[in-house]
């Protein structure tokens, strides 16, 4: 079962939400954050990336950074820009990005269930990144960036949500990127009991995005022995059929000493090649390849996709094992400096730009991994290859904060 807890969220003053709420800390560099927050004293980047208020050469993991984040957080609270609800609630958070809409339940979820794998993972975490989030949570005594979870959709709960979002919202704004963010509070006792009972029947939740945030929350829970509200962590939970996964594309620095003709021969051993194809693959097991100013459609030969193993049949796995390692010499994409990853939100034009500039030699445009693949792999206890999924739209920090 999934044990959800209502909580008294710290939330932005509705008329200030557009000025406060920001993209997650990990989708931008410090330089980008500094530019985004310039002239915006209420921007939550002063809390989530507080190094922007310190000298540019400051160590990102210096105690000064976390202390500055805590100071900026308290400043927003003291001036009333962020205010905590008087009693525990659940919340709904809708995002609209172009033609895509998704509505998630905002709740405090169980650290014990995370540690017991009722909340399932599909990625490895890095200790240094966990350490950073632990220190941020400890400094603020709060979780300010939600973990992005999903579950297999339930019709009865979908109907409840549809009714609730027909009511007037508490917060409603559109960001500079055109994504609309709307929030509702679920305050009545009977509605709260209904939400709890619905999720008590859901066997598992799945982490879509936020493995380091959830791992850090689990560590804080253990170190504090569950004191206060440290036994839960902040999450927004979406039904699986509303999730939007974009591709995670690959750009390569060089041809690993191969001539264009040799590269073509090696690719032809793995793919059926159709020159002049679309920059966007149309189906699973199809890729697009950009080289010498031209796109080609690449389709994996059947022998490379004939497996029942859910990890081995992922396009990112096959590409790594059959092409990136043996052809380009990239054995570990986590550490290699000869490969980079470009989120699908940037589009295929970004791949063309990087290759045309001469900074990179070629690019692979991927077909998105499906949410069904993700859940099947997580159910099997598997770990997906790095940079397999890019979820959009991103949840905004400071829409809801969980005080622990």
Average pLDDT value for residue range 304-320: 95
Question: Do 155 and 303 sit in the same domain of this protein?
Answer: no
Question: Do 237 and 255 sit in the same domain of this protein?
Answer: no
Question: Do 84 and 231 sit in the same domain of this protein?
Answer: yes
Total domains in the chain come to 2
In a domain, 75, yes or no: yes
Average pLDDT value for residue range 6-25: 97
In a domain, 325, yes or no: yes
In a domain, 385, yes or no: no
Q: DSSP string covering 113-133, please?
A: HHHTTSEE--S---HHHHHHH
| Most distant CA atoms of the chain, gap in Å | 69
Question: Do 151 and 277 sit in the same domain of this protein?
Answer: no
Assigned token pair, 368: 């998105």
Average pLDDT value for residue range 377-393: 91
Cα–Cα distance measured from residue 387 to residue 366, given in angstroms and rounded to the nearest whole number? 11
Cα–Cα distance measured from residue 371 to residue 81, given in angstroms and rounded to the nearest whole number? 36
Angle at 93 between CA 140 and CA 155, to 5 degrees: 130
Closest by Cα among 316, 118, 127, 122 to 208: 122
Confidence of residue 371 (pLDDT cuts 50, 70, 90): very high
| pLDDT > 80? residue 80 | yes
Question: Do 241 and 271 sit in the same domain of this protein?
Answer: no
Question: Do 202 and 280 sit in the same domain of this protein?
Answer: no
Question: Do 343 and 285 sit in the same domain of this protein?
Answer: yes
Residue percentage of the chain with pLDDT more than 70: 100
pLDDT tens per residue, range 88-110: 999 999 999 999 999 999 999 99
pLDDT tens per residue, range 324-349: 999 999 999 988 999 999 988 889 99
Angle between helices 127-140 and 211-224 (to 10 degrees): 60
Question: Do 212 and 286 sit in the same domain of this protein?
Answer: no
Question: Do 69 and 105 sit in the same domain of this protein?
Answer: yes
Domain that holds residue 227: 4-245+392-403
pLDDT tens per residue, range 168-222: 999 999 999 999 999 999 999 999 999 999 999 999 999 999 999 999 999 999 9
Closest by Cα among 340, 364, 362, 348 to 254: 362
The CATH number of the domain holding residue 308 is 3.30.1760
Question: Do 60 and 133 sit in the same domain of this protein?
Answer: yes
Question: Do 204 and 254 sit in the same domain of this protein?
Answer: no
Question: Do 200 and 83 sit in the same domain of this protein?
Answer: yes
**pLDDT value of residue 367:** 97
């Amino acid at each position: 079962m999934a044990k959800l807890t209502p909580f008294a969220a710290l939330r932005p003053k509705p008329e200030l939400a557009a000025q406060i709420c920001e993209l997650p800390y990990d989708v931008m560099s410090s330089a980008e954050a500094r530019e985004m927050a310039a002239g915006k004293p209420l921007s939550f980047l002063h809390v989530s990336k507080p190094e922007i208020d310190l000298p540019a050469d400051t160590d990102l993991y210096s105690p000064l950074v976390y202390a500055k984040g805590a100071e900026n957080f308290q400043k927003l609270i003291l001036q009333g820009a962020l205010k905590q609800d008087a009693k525990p609630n659940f919340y709904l958070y809708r995002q609209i990005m172009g033609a895509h809409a998704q509505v998630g339940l905002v709740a405090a979820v169980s650290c014990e269930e995370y540690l017991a794998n009722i909340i399932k993972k599909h990625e490895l975490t890095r200790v240094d990144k966990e350490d950073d989030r632990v220190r941020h949570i400890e400094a603020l005594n709060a979780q300010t960036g939600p973990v992005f979870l999903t579950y297999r959709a339930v019709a009865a709960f979908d109907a409840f949500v549809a009714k609730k979002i027909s009511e007037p919202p508490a917060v409603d704004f559109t960001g500079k990127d055109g994504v609309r963010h709307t929030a509702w509070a679920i305050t009545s006792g009977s509605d709260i009991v209904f939400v709890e009972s619905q999720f008590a029947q859901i066997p598992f939740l799945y982490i879509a995005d936020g493995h380091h945030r959830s791992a850090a929350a689990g560590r804080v829970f253990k170190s504090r022995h569950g004191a206060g509200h440290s036994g839960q962590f902040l999450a927004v939970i979406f039904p699986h059929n509303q999730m939007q996964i974009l591709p995670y594309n690959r750009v390569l620095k060089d041809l690993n000493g191969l001539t264009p003709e040799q590269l073509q021969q090696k690719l032809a051993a793995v793919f059926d090649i159709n020159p002049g194809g679309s920059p966007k693959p149309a189906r699973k097991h199809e890729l697009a390849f950009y080289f010498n100013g031209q796109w080609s459609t690449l389709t994996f030969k059947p022998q490379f996709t004939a497996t029942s193993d859910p990890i081995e049949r992922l396009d990112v796995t096959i590409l790594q094992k059959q092409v990136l390692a043996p052809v380009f010499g990239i054995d570990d994409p986590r550490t290699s400096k000869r490969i980079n990853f470009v989120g699908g939100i940037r589009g295929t034009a970004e791949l063309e730009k990087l290759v045309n500039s001469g900074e990179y030699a070629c690019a692979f445009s991927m077909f998105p991994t499906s949410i069904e693949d993700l859940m099947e792999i997580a159910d099997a206890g598997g770990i997906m290859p790095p940079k397999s999924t890019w979820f959009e739209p991103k949840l905004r920090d400071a829409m809801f904060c969980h005080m622990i």
